[in-house]
Amino acid sequence: MQERIVEILVGPTPTFVVAPQPKQDLWDTVLANLDDVAARLKLNPGIHAILRQPERELTVAIPVVLDDGSIKVFTGYRVQHSSARGPCKGGIRYHADVTLNEVRGLATMMTWKCAVVGIPYGGAKGGVTFDPAGLSQNELMRLTRRYTAMILPILGPKRDIPAPDVNTNPQVMAWIADTASMFEGSAMMEIVTGKPLNLGGSQGRPEATGRGVAIVTAELLKRYDRTPVETTVAVQGYGNVGSCAATILNEMGCKIVAVSDVGGGLYNPHGLNIADINKHVAHSPRHLLEGYDAPGVDFITNDELLECETDVLIPAALEHQIRGDNATRIRAKYIVEGANGPTTRDADDILTDRGIVVAPDILANAGGVVVSYLEWVQDLQNFFWEKEEVNRQLTSLMIRSFREVWDCAASYDVPLRLGASMLAVDKVAEAVQSRGIWP
């Protein structure tokens, strides 16, 4: 984003100072990517204009009675980017940095993600701007129920189906399903995915995104004639996605040399003991890495993790972690994006110039929504599968999608991110074209 010059008049002589750089916006990144893809695909300008704008955006005020009796009003969003390929689908994020533009960007990426993996959904996303660590469990439940009630008019099992995202989990999904069911007057569990097993959740859903990241990593390594046992991996973010990806890659034989979370990171060039770390995280009060120690482990910052000596880097935290200012220092050969939007556009160009191969978010982290789809299918038929069956379908879908992205990138002679985006935008544009513009 361009630096803005702010003029301050001091006496008769104007002085110019550089304003602090505004945070680069995910929505800017997503639109710039779309414009690039549209030009390369020679997309119909009308369809390009349709895809540049979310179909529907809802901003809601969520009053919550806090435990001390006071009232606090939170702001929430649900953005439906496209329903061209099917009902809208996408998670709900609870985070202090949530903005409408972030939710727009994430909703649009869900449209591309569902298209890349060929599941019959459009894209949506929701978010509420607050830090969940500051609320009690009861306050969190009241906020979730009120937010659900406020966005319920645009939700539905055939309309828009939420799921977990940053700081939301199966319990939050259970409250959403229950609130919707109370309004409906009958059980409507299929309105949300990522639910607990006892409410119609799917086997394998909690670890699905991480498993998908691991499958994509393994496929990428195969293309470069590498085996997991000769591969080192660093994972930024040790929440649901990062920890599952690290654990499954470790089981595949990879050496996990670094992991980090909000509190900082752990590094051991000879490999970290992931089972031991998982035990620590499971028992630590905030489920963080802090307090973990073992022989040979060095403590590093998140920035140091991104720049550490490793074959594969998996950013699995928030967006825009790999930027123009640190992309030149990244030493990994392969980046597999567990997070949504972890790489800025300028960083992407630097990585491409430096020959670093990036498996893009809309492919790499699609395992979550793939198993959300499998959960929804099971809910609709009220018939549930064994974990092996879920994992078998996830694996085959991810491998097929990887191959299609790889082939598309090769045929246009572009990096994988562009290949994936071209494949996705093309599929969505085709759906818009086939349906026609109503009326």
Is residue 111 a contact residue for ligand GLU (CB under 6 A)? no
246-251, long-range: CB < 8 A, 24+ apart: 246/210, 246/274, 246/314, 247/207, 247/210, 247/274, 247/275, 247/278, 248/207, 248/210, 248/211, 248/214, 249/214, 249/217, 249/218, 250/274
Phi, psi of 181 (to 5 degrees): -65, -35
Residue 367 CB, nearest approach to ligand GLU (Å): 8
Among 102, 139, 160, 165, binds ligand GLU (CB under 6 A): 165
Is residue 321 a contact residue for ligand GLU (CB under 6 A)? no
Nearer to ligand GLU, 95 or 113 (CB): 113
Is residue 163 a contact residue for ligand GLU (CB under 6 A)? yes
Residue 343 CB, nearest approach to ligand GLU (Å): 16
- Per-residue binder mask for ligand GLU (CB under 6 A), 325-364, x = binder: ---------------x------------------------
Answer whether 370's CB lies under 8 Å from 213's CB.
Answer: no
Task: Name residue, tokens 């482990």.
Answer: 297
Other CB atoms within 10 Å distance of the CB of residue 123: 32
Helix H or strand E segment including 221: helix 208-223
Residue 282 CB, nearest approach to ligand GLU (Å): 22
Among 54, 86, 87, 91, binds ligand GLU (CB under 6 A): 91
Is 125 one of the catalytic residues? yes
- Residues near 258 by Cβ (< 8 Å), separated by ≥ 6? 234, 235, 265, 266, 267, 268, 272, 300, 305, 308, 310
Among 200, 201, 368, 415, binds ligand GLU (CB under 6 A): 368
Among 193, 232, 243, 260, binds ligand GLU (CB under 6 A): 193
Is residue 179 a contact residue for ligand GLU (CB under 6 A)? no
Answer whether 73's CB lies under 8 Å from 105's CB.
Answer: no
Is residue 369 a contact residue for ligand GLU (CB under 6 A)? yes
Residues that bind ligand GLU (CB under 6 A): 89-91, 113, 163, 165, 193, 340, 365, 368-369, 372
Active site residues: 125
